[in-house]
Structure 1
């Protein structure tokens, strides 16, 4: 079997432009609508949105690779880097590293791509690792770099990347292509097309011992941000993680040849879904602001603490809704006080209720 990098026309990817043109138009239209709404929220609300999106992307891009990290630690690290938190303590290296990479991506999206950019990201991602030979440099081992699954004695090889000896050459060509196809480059390529090719091209080279998927998704967001002239603020990794099997299948379906129309369509649909998820979060933050403005001065500290806790759970809220027991746990209130507080929040239209007796659950009324 030949892989795409073994084809004579590698890495000259081909595709049917007409199949992706409508997606390109929708992406630009939605980007304009999103940032139009973004301008109408306060500076504090923008910071909340940015921190929420970046921290969730950091969390989910790691989960795609099977690494489960602490949301609180990632968010704490990101908040400190944006000057929203003065102290930071006991943040594990993995959480600190992915947070550093995502903030660097946000702050330097417009910069040209270099070998050093990628090496720095790899150092951040692998902070605290002792099991890798090459950290902050391309792989050098002689054995094949393979993506496999199944039993050790009979593995299924899903992909084999170019040999390590070709990494400097392959990556130099990749970086030149990335910069040349930017909006200010010699040969600009439309936003979604460039982002999709960036992702597939990079993971097929697979230049590092580990971290290739996370860096590929970061490069994708860098490409999108350069195309719209500002950080893209989309929930890309969140969207991919929700349908992870489809993501890996799409990659596998497009690693044996250089005609990649199917990949472009899959990726464009994923990006548009990611935009929708980011729009939902923006609407959620706006609704939160309106709710607290309406209830200003009418909530006691327990009620405010409980509502803030519910908002921290995001648009999906508490799984199964918040119970009276949840309220007691959050606020430390007695059961009688909890009953009065919740009834008051219902009367103020801050919450809505479903179920009865022990099955009663409360939801944000937004």
Structure 2
């Protein structure tokens, strides 16, 4: 038995309508914006989702380091464990993103187990098999006292039938709004806890896949994982899951879970819109600066990365602009000579940050924090 999808209250419907309007406006803006800086935003959002979801599980890698790792950069100062977890999650997320417009797509136990192997294959052991249902009990322990089971998942013998029921629901389901269904899928999977490890990230990834399949926004804009990964939100996330009880009790009202996810959708849409707006303003300011300085317009890409993310590497600039190694090195060297950029580190590990003559207005816009509005008041 799965959790029944709750009916929406009037306030829920209002917030869902607001989310839909924001997402449609965001889709239009992305489609009409210059490809160069929307492509950078797509990469940032993917990296931010990977960094955030891994951070919930204790793997701490900054978004900018994840961006570099996803670009194939080897000289990033992270532990080998964090590197492996980041790249594994990125491979799975990349595959999920490619599924958003597959015509003959369907959910299956093989699909979710395959995704789990992408995520956990590097950790595969007899005791904790990857890509296979768990063979024994699994517990979510209390963060303050690991000797206490905050949640005990269903018996391992019940997992195959529960997952078959979930797959049937994913393919046929109910008539609820796609965003509500995606939230419910997350709850179903994390509550069944079908694997020995990796259940949280798999559940968040399934939600991302369902939102992407809906087709309103490109997959990179569809995830709420970055929102869930903020410390205060992570605490609320675990608290909301904890309200479901210490064991699998699907015959209950889960309206609170749906409302929590509506808040996440709403505030993540605000966040993406804010970054998109800032990104566009920063690009325009940098384009004006480059033109006035008589520089090649392609260096705006490098300067934009510095303003929005704090640094740029030669390899990242080279790939973004389709340059040779020599061209990218020459451009960055000239920017250093002009004191627009400053080099940090040596040889392959070198990256570039803002120099004393980097345009302050662009940095000011990029660093101005935005204010998030709470969709439910009172």
Q: State the alpha-carbon separation in 1 of the partners of residues 369 and 164 from structure 2.
A: 53
Q: 1:288 to 1:213 in 2, by over 3 A?
A: same
The answer on whether the counterparts of 1:98 and 1:124 sit within 8 Å (CA) in structure 2 is: yes
The residue that corresponds to 1:238 in the other structure is 226
Q: State the alpha-carbon separation in 2 of the partners of residues 280 and 145 from structure 1.
A: 40
The answer on whether the counterparts of 2:286 and 2:303 sit within 8 Å (CA) in structure 1 is: no
Secondary structure of residue in 2 paired with 1:147? strand
Over residues 26-66 of structure 1, what are the superposed CA-to-partner deviations in whole Å (9 max), with x where a residue is unaligned?
22211101001111212222221111111110110000111
The residue that corresponds to 1:134 in the other structure is 129
The answer on whether the counterparts of 2:286 and 2:304 sit within 8 Å (CA) in structure 1 is: no
Over residues 278-302 of structure 1, what are the superposed CA-to-partner deviations in whole Å (9 max), with x where a residue is unaligned?
112211221222112211233498x
1:45 maps to which of 33, 37, 44: 37
Secondary structure of residue in 2 paired with 1:128? helix
The residue that corresponds to 2:359 in the other structure is 345
Q: State the alpha-carbon separation in 2 of the partners of residues 342 and 70 from structure 1.
A: 25
Q: 1:298 to 1:363 in 2, by over 3 A?
A: farther
Secondary structure of residue in 2 paired with 1:207? coil
Mean Cα displacement is larger for which, 26-35 or 111-120? 111-120
Report the aligned-residue RMSD.
3.3
The residue that corresponds to 1:310 in the other structure is 307
2:243 equivalent to 1:253: yes
The equivalences for 1:247-326 within 5 A come to: 247-255=237-245, 256=249, 257-299=251-293, 308-313=305-310
Structure 1 unaligned segments of length 5 or more: list them. 1-9, 81-86, 182-186, 315-326, 334-340, 354-361
The residue that corresponds to 1:156 in the other structure is 148
The answer on whether the counterparts of 2:154 and 2:192 sit within 8 Å (CA) in structure 1 is: yes
Q: State the alpha-carbon separation in 1 of the partners of residues 26 and 95 from structure 2.
A: 22
Q: State the alpha-carbon separation in 2 of the partners of residues 125 and 105 from structure 1.
A: 12
Q: How far has the Cα of 1:231 moved from its partner?
A: 3.0
The residue that corresponds to 2:331 in the other structure is none
Q: How far has the Cα of 1:112 moved from its partner?
A: 1.9
Over residues 327-351 of structure 1, what are the superposed CA-to-partner deviations in whole Å (9 max), with x where a residue is unaligned?
9896159xxxxxxx746835xx445
The residue that corresponds to 2:211 in the other structure is 224
Q: How far has the Cα of 1:114 moved from its partner?
A: 1.6
Q: TM-score, normalised by structure 1?
A: 0.75
Over residues 215-257 of structure 1, what are the superposed CA-to-partner deviations in whole Å (9 max), with x where a residue is unaligned?
1111111222223444351451121122111110001112445
The residue that corresponds to 2:328 in the other structure is none
Q: How far has the Cα of 1:71 moved from its partner?
A: 4.0
Q: 1:365 to 1:23 in 2, by over 3 A?
A: closer
Q: State the alpha-carbon separation in 2 of the partners of residues 246 and 344 from structure 1.
A: 39
Q: 1:290 to 1:258 in 2, by over 3 A?
A: same
Q: How far has the Cα of 1:165 moved from its partner?
A: 1.2
Q: 1:54 to 1:120 in 2, by over 3 A?
A: same
1:98 maps to which of 89, 93, 107: 89
The residue that corresponds to 2:164 in the other structure is 172
The answer on whether the counterparts of 1:113 and 1:179 sit within 8 Å (CA) in structure 2 is: yes
Structure 2 unaligned segments of length 5 or more: list them. 312-337, 345-354, 371-378
The answer on whether the counterparts of 1:203 and 1:212 sit within 8 Å (CA) in structure 2 is: yes
Secondary structure of residue in 2 paired with 1:189? coil
The answer on whether the counterparts of 1:69 and 1:94 sit within 8 Å (CA) in structure 2 is: no
Q: State the alpha-carbon separation in 1 of the partners of residues 243 and 172 from structure 2.
A: 27
Q: State the alpha-carbon separation in 2 of the partners of residues 136 and 168 from structure 1.
A: 13
Q: TM-score, normalised by structure 2?
A: 0.72
Over residues 63-113 of structure 1, what are the superposed CA-to-partner deviations in whole Å (9 max), with x where a residue is unaligned?
011112364563245446xxxxxx878983222211111111111134322
Q: 1:364 to 1:198 in 2, by over 3 A?
A: closer
Instruction: Tell me the number of residue pairs that the alignment of Structure 1 and Structure 2 aligns.
Output: 312
Q: 1:363 to 1:50 in 2, by over 3 A?
A: closer
Secondary structure of residue in 1 paired with 2:58? coil
